[in-house]
Every structure is written in structure tokens, then in C-alpha cells.
Amino acid sequence: MDMAAPRETQSESPILRLQSVDKLFGDFVAVERVDLDIREGEFFTIVGPSGSGKTTLIRMLVGMDKPSGGDILLRGRRINDVPANKRPTCMVFQSLALFPHKSVGQNIEFPLKIRGVPPAERRERAEQLLRQLHLPLDYHRKPVGQCSGGEQQRVALARALAFDPEILFFDEPLSAIDYRLRKALEKELKDIHRETGKTFVYITHSLEEAMVMSDRIAIMRGGRIVQVGTPDEIYNRPRNRFVSEFMGEVNVIEVERAGERLRDTATGTELVGPHLPEGFRHGFLVVRPETFRFLDGAGGAATPNRLEGTLYNEYSLGSRLQYQVRVGASVFLVEKLREQRYLGQLDDRVTIGWDPAEAMLFEE
């Protein structure tokens, strides 16, 4: 069993297609009318808050649950009724589900053993995967219970790769480990995806994981998929306020139409917004913290949107700094690179501003 060669490009034809997929538990609709194409060879992440339906969706994709309606197609073949052990897919669970009484090698070789692969071939495959996942070869005989959390993550991934599945599914496998190790494993997982050329379908509630690893992201809310796109597309062109807020901290200003302008309903300040949709009357202007600028008398004169307030606090975010500016009863976040640090003091009166094209306008 040779490892699949790296792919130069992803196939545009979907390896997995969902058509109007529903899942009901009694009267409760967990997943509703989901249409989705997952391309062969891509790293596809489904992300959403708790209760959004993402875990129910992946359980149907794996074969652990059957859809209540709609179809799931693998390479064009309907697989709604095909059990998990009959599909060319594999799942890496949050709990990892390793056998604690077995060695690392026995865990990796287990799916090959139940398929009748000869011992010598199983051993060769296990050692190949140990090398690929940066584990020493002598770990083959090491009790898996003596491995660190990060090592156990690698063992679980090696076992999933052992029988060369077409699609690997991941159910929040990094959620229970510390931040530093999680960041390292995010990069390793992305590297392994590139090396193997496999299709990865990943479930997480972490925006950060999704942004780091994914080719495309699907955002779920209330059992529905509300947007699918690349990390850049979703971050820069969210479809609604929910997506914009889910993709990171934002400043939200409730506004109403004032002729060809907008009016901040909290302060009465008139603002210049992006293009106003026909019939727009009331909604929300969303401005990301990194879009705000501190303005002085000369440099800010050409900035049409300006708010005056008090610098209340400063937060260190490593290479970036975040400031809290209070404007009346409203609180705004301003984020800058460390070399762009505001040189004044807390409690200074400050003016912040942004250009119209840098904001997003939503009616919901």
C-alpha cells in the first residue's frame, strides 16, 4: 500500500454531494435542507456554534446516522443506507478511541488486521505511517497509554490513514489539547493533507482552526448552511451579520437610512455607508477592528466617518494591540499592529474613523 502521491491541483468534480439532506429527531429538525458539494482532495471544514447541526451532519456523512430526507452521493452513488464499515471513509473522533491496552503499532495496524492483511505488510505500513507522522520507529511497540496527548493524536491519524481511505472525517480532534500543541498540530495536519492528497472533512467550533487549515469553509447555523467559501471570501465578504460576527470580533452599529446616508441610531451621527440596497430602511453597519484608524486633525480630515470618544483600555495580542474606545454608551474595538501603537494615554479623548468601502451593511 503506497502512500498516495501529492496532488498538484484539486479536482473540481465533487467526491461527496449532499442534496436537500434533512435529519429529524422526533419534531426537532437538527439538519435542514442541506445542499453541499465537497471536492476531491480539498480540506473542507464545517464550523458553527454549539447546536448548529455540524456533528449531526458529519455523523450522516460517515454513516453513523441515516438522513431523514434527501440524498448523500459518493462519486455519484447514493450511500444513504450504506453502513459506516462499508464506506471507503474513516473517522478521527474527539476522544481518539485508541485501544489503551495495545501498543502504538497494534493500534495503527488494527484496521489492516481485521481486513486480513498479512503481518509483514501491516508492519511495513505502520512504520511508513510512523515516519510520515514524525514518530520514532521504536514507538511501534510502545504502549499507547504512555504517549503524550499530541503523540496519541498522531497515532489516531495514522490508524485512520492505515487502510488508505478516500475521505477522512474529523470530529473536533484538537479541542481537548493545550493551545501551543494545538497550533503545532493544526500546521502538521495541513501538511499531512498536502502530502497525502486525501479529502479531509473537518468539524470544529473554532474559527481559528478553520481559517488556518481549510481550503473552504461551510458556516452552519440552526441546522442550515448559511455560507460556503474560502477563508478569505467568508472573512471579507460575509453574507450576513451572523457570519461576520462568527468570523471574528467586529464593531456593530445599528443604523437607519437618512436620505443617501446612514444615521447611527444610538448617537444620531450621520455616516457614509457602502452602497445602499434598494428599499433599505434599517439595519447594521459592521466595521472590523483593524479597519478603524486613530485620526488627528490633519490626517483625518478626508475620512468621512468619524466618532469621538475616550480611550478606555489597551490589550496586548502578541504582534497586535487592541484598544477599547467608548463613544457615549457604545464600545468600539480598534486593532493595530504593535508598530502602529497609539502613543497617547488612557482616558485621552480620541477620534476614530473608517472609509465607507471598509464597512459592511446588513439588513439582519
Predicted local confidence at residue 297, as pLDDT: 60
Q: Does residue 243 sit within a domain? A: no
233-291 pLDDT, tens digit per residue, is: 999 899 999 999 888 889 999 999 999 899 999 888 999 988 888 889 999 999 999 99
The answer to whether 174 and 190 are in contact (CB under 8 A) is: no
Residues of the chain where predicted confidence (pLDDT) is lower than 70? 1-12, 176, 297-301
Please count the structural domains in the chain.
Answer: 2
Predicted local confidence at residue 4, as pLDDT: 42
pTM summary value? 0.85
Predicted local confidence at residue 123, as pLDDT: 95
Cell representation of residue 302: 478626508
**Rounded Cα gap, residues 103 and 22, in angstroms:** 41
**Which of 213, 238, 263 is at the close of a domain?**
238
Predicted local confidence at residue 6, as pLDDT: 42
What separation in angstroms does the CA of 239 have from each of 68, 288, 355?
28, 15, 20
Q: Does residue 5 sit within a domain? A: no
Give yes or no: residues 94 and 214 share one domain: yes
**Which of 189, 215, 238 is at the close of a domain?**
238
Give yes or no: residues 224 and 267 share one domain: no
**Rounded Cα gap, residues 46 and 202, in angstroms:** 6
Residues ≥6 apart with Cβ < 8 Å to 180: none
**Rounded Cα gap, residues 111 and 357, in angstroms:** 54
Beta partners for 309? 350
Cell representation of residue 253: 452599529
User: Torsions phi, psi of 239, nearest 5?
Assistant: -80, -25
- Does residue 97 sit in helix, strand or coil? coil
Predicted local confidence at residue 1, as pLDDT: 40
CATH of the domain at 286: 2.40.50.100
Q: Which amino acid type is present at position 173? A: P
Predicted local confidence at residue 11, as pLDDT: 52
Predicted local confidence at residue 298, as pLDDT: 53
**Rounded Cα gap, residues 32 and 247, in angstroms:** 22
**Which of 218, 238, 258 is at the close of a domain?**
238
Give yes or no: residues 171 and 261 share one domain: no
Predicted local confidence at residue 3, as pLDDT: 43
Predicted local confidence at residue 12, as pLDDT: 64
- The residue range of the domain holding 122 is 14-238
